[in-house]
Amino acid sequence: MDNYEGIRDKRIVGSPAVHLLSMAVLLFAFWMLLSGNTQPKFLTYGVLTAIIATWVSYPLLLVPNGNDTKRYFVFGVNPAKMVMYIVWLFWQLVLANIDVIRATVRPEIEIDPCVVRFRYQTDNPLARVVLANSITLTPGTVTMNVTEDGMYEVHALTVGAADGLRSGDMQRKVAWLYGEPYEFTILEGKD
Amino acid sequence: MIACVPLQEIIAALLMGLGLIFLVGSMVGMLRLPDFYSRVHASGNSETLGTLLVFLGLAVYNGVSITSAKLLIILMFIFVGNPIGSHILTKAAYKTGHPVWTKKTLPADMLPDSNIEGGEADANLHH
Amino acid sequence: MRILFLVLMGVLLATIGLMLQRVFQGPTIFDRMNGLGVITADTILLIVLFGFLDNQPGMYVDLAMAYAMMGCLGSVVLAKYLGGKKL
């Protein structure tokens, strides 16, 4: 954060007041959950802690994009979309997991590991993070490397997993989650 | 006999039973798969889903309380933290040039026994 | 329900034993780290299950939460150390 201009920075996407408020409320809820104590003394401590923690950590949670023209808040996602995405991801997890376990438990292992490379570019760096994390979470595919210019190198365990990755389903979902245009190209060769 | 068991416990037992299956599957995968990258699939993913399902079952079994909320928080930590752990491990292995095992490099009948020599893969996968 | 808990704990203990074998004789350092990660994840589950068997899950869940935070951090730090400056 070399050229940080405070919360009045014009490059922040969304409104900083909403970000600060929602984060403080979340942190206070977490405090209440951990303490479970409703005496006024502890409530005061909780409110103070939540406000100070929010104020100190807010600059750290602003992620600049490639050419530093915008700054995205880490938790600045539409919550309803996020919940829908997590439910979809969970379902994908179960399906792919059954696939992988079936391939593994057979008397003769039916795996065909390979490295899939593709390029996925959006303006929002958080979309890249969410995509890499989702790919790792889905069985059969583990993200090995993500470069600065958006090239993903993914280790795929089975043929089905690699094909699922190449079909671009998850990439479309992540772009929908962040509501942004994206470019998706499969890179062949090298392996 | 079965009618005496409340519905809540049946759902919890189902979820935990599913989780048990995935945990056993990940254990088998860890033992049988040929190289490090494949074993990360077993440990990082099947393990995550098994743990998630068991935690969900426990939360359902416990009913609505602070403990259940804490269980869900742990679940969230695992959901976010486990892929980060396996990704950073794979990245460290990849950057230090650990070779990727592919089917081309060894005959198919050597699959289960190639645990120790799994590193005999083609080095031109790396640049 | 107690029987299910006990079966789960048995499976987890068996997994931990097998992973210890992986940790001690794994061919590469990364295999050892992977085994350690699995042991961490299993231990979290084991602590919570033990709490439910002990009929006071509230206390054990706190322990498990602290352990969950530490586990993720520990594996990331160790991998950074192994990967060197290139990571």
Reduced 3-state DSSP string for B30-49: HHHCCCHHHHHHHHHHHHHH
Question: In the listed set A39, A73, A107, which residue is the last one of a domain according to the structure?
Answer: A73
Q: Verify that A173 and A87 share a domain, yes or no.
A: yes
pLDDT at C64 over 60: yes
pTM of this structure:
0.83
Q: What is the reported pLDDT for A5?
A: 61
Q: What is the reported pLDDT for A25?
A: 92
Contacts of B44 in chain A (CB under 8 A): 136, 142
Tokens of A123: 């303006």
Domain of residue A30: give its range. Answer: 6-73
Q: What is the reported pLDDT for B105?
A: 60
Which of A80-89, A169-178, C75-84 is most confident? A80-89
Higher confidence at residue C50 or residue A16? C50
| Residue listed under structure tokens 């090995």 | A144
Q: Verify that A45 and A115 share a domain, yes or no.
A: no
Question: Are the beta carbons of B81 and C80 closer than 8 angstroms?
Answer: no
Indicate if the alpha-carbon torsion angle A173, A176, A180, A183 is positive or negative: positive
Q: Verify that A90 and A126 share a domain, yes or no.
A: yes
pLDDT at C32 over 70: yes
Question: In the listed set A42, A73, A104, which residue is the last one of a domain according to the structure?
Answer: A73
Q: What is the mean pLDDT of chain C?
A: 86
Check if A38 contacts B (Cβ < 8 Å): no
pLDDT at A149 over 90: no
Chain A residue at shortest CA distance from B125:
A191
Q: What is the reported pLDDT for B115?
A: 42
Q: Verify that A86 and A164 share a domain, yes or no.
A: yes
Q: Verify that A68 and A147 share a domain, yes or no.
A: no
Nearest to A177 by CA among A169, A186, A166, A185: A169
Tokens of A106: 């057979």
Q: What is the reported pLDDT for A50?
A: 92
- Give 10-residue mean pLDDT values along chain B (127 residues): 74 90 88 83 85 91 88 88 86 81 57 41 40
Q: Say how far apart CA B91 and CA B79 lie, in whole Å.
A: 19
Q: What is the reported pLDDT for C86?
A: 60
CB contact (8 A) between residue C62 and residue B43: no
| Residue listed under structure tokens 């699959």 | B111
> Which residues are registered as beta bridge partners of A145?
A153
The Cα-based distances of A78 to A14, A82, A178, B79 in angstroms read 11, 6, 8, 19
CB contact (8 A) between residue B89 and residue C8: no
Q: Residue A183 belongs to a domain with what CATH number?
A: 3.30.70
For residue A158, tell me if it sits in a domain.
Answer: yes
pLDDT at A33 over 90: no
> Which residues are registered as beta bridge partners of A63?
A72
Q: Verify that A181 and A110 share a domain, yes or no.
A: yes
Q: What is the reported pLDDT for A168?
A: 80
Q: Verify that A56 and A131 share a domain, yes or no.
A: no
Check if B22 contacts C (Cβ < 8 Å): no
Number of domains in chain A: 2
Q: What is the reported pLDDT for B116?
A: 39
Q: What is the reported pLDDT for B107?
A: 47
Contacts of C69 in chain B (CB under 8 A): 77
Interface of A with B in 62-91 (CB under 8 A): none
Residue-range domain boundaries for chain B: 47-99
Q: What is the reported pLDDT for B125?
A: 41
Higher confidence at residue A112 or residue A134? A134
Q: Verify that A84 and A68 share a domain, yes or no.
A: no
Substitution target from A33, A99, A101 for chain B, most B beta carbons within 10 A: A101
Residue B114, classified by CB atoms within 10 Å of its CB into exposed (0-12), middle (13-18) or buried (19+), is middle
Q: Verify that A23 and A91 share a domain, yes or no.
A: no
Q: Verify that A170 and A97 share a domain, yes or no.
A: yes
Q: What is the mean pLDDT of chain A?
A: 83
The contacts of residue A165 (CB under 8 Å, 6+ apart) are A116, A118, A135, A141, A154, A156
> Which residues are registered as beta bridge partners of A62?
A73
Query: How many Cα atoms occupy the beta-carbon half-sphere of A122 within 13 Å?
Result: 20
pLDDT at A47 over 80: yes
- Say what the ipTM of the complex is: 0.86
CB contact (8 A) between residue A113 and residue B102: yes
Q: Verify that A44 and A123 share a domain, yes or no.
A: no
CB contact (8 A) between residue A113 and residue B86: no
| 3-class DSSP assignment, residue A31 | helix
pLDDT at A52 over 90: yes
Angle between the N-to-C axes of helices A16-35 and A40-57, in degrees from 0 to 180, rounded to the nearest 10: 140
Q: What is the reported pLDDT for A151?
A: 85
Contacts of C82 in chain B (CB under 8 A): 92, 96
Q: Say how far apart CA A167 and CA A183 lie, in whole Å.
A: 14
Question: In the listed set A27, A47, A73, which residue is the last one of a domain according to the structure?
Answer: A73
**Using CB atoms, which chains have 3+ pairs under 8 A with C?**
B
- How close, in Å, is residue C79 to chain B by CA atoms? 5
Q: Verify that A122 and A164 share a domain, yes or no.
A: yes
- How close, in Å, is residue A10 to chain B by CA atoms? 31
pLDDT at C37 over 60: yes
CB contact (8 A) between residue C52 and residue B61: yes
